[in-house]
């Protein structure tokens, strides 16, 4: 019997110390690079976007892929690539940890639209405020001391 899944995730992670290093003019190249990593892992990218200090990825995660190893691969590979390409001169690393939130496929359009509007969204809300809201919406217990 074949395996059929629809595992929709929003993955969120930030730059180290939330440094505003992901300058807008080169973000699209970074997104394309991350898309390649996802394709190599047989994941489907629905949307990737972010601002200077963090990224959001809406993706279907292939059932053979552990989310933790996927995020690790994205962070390690993209860090090396960023440094080789010298696209973000002040980028030092990604923050430890990440958020991974599951969604029903029925919520995909709303999730994609939310990720598309990141720049407008962050004119009124900080990353920390947004992240706490996501954690609360998904009933995830957390300790504020780990949220910088």
**d(C-alpha 65, C-alpha 139), whole Å:** 24
**Residue pLDDT, tens place only, 81-120:** 999 999 999 999 999 999 999 999 999 999 999 999 998 8
Please report whether residue 1 resides in a domain.
no
Please report whether residue 69 resides in a domain.
yes
Please report whether residue 36 resides in a domain.
yes
Contacts of 91 (CB under 8 A, 6+ apart): 15, 19, 21, 22, 79, 82, 83
Please report whether residue 3 resides in a domain.
no
Asked whether residue 60 carries a pLDDT value surpassing 90, the answer given is yes
Please report whether residue 63 resides in a domain.
yes
* Total domains present in the chain: 1
Please report whether residue 2 resides in a domain.
no
Domain that holds residue 41: 8-146
Tell me, what CATH number does 129's domain have? Answer: 3.30.70.1290
């Amino acid at each position: 019997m074949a395996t059929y899944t629809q595992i929709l995730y929003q993955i969120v992670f930030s730059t180290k110390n939330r440094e505003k290093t992901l300058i807008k003019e080169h973000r699209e190249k970074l997104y394309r690079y991350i898309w390649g990593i996802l394709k190599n892992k047989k994941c489907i990218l629905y949307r990737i976007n972010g601002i200077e200090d963090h990224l959001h990825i809406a993706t279907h995660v292939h059932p053979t892929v552990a989310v933790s190893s996927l995020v690790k691969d994205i962070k390690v590979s993209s860090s090396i690539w960023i440094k080789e390409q010298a696209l973000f001169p002040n980028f030092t690393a990604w923050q430890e940890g990440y958020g991974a939130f599951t969604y029903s496929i029925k919520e995909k359009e709303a999730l994609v639209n939310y990720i598309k509007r990141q720049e407008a969204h962050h004119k009124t809300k900080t990353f920390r405020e947004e992240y706490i809201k996501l954690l609360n919406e998904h009933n995830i217990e957390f300790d504020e001391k780990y949220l910088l």
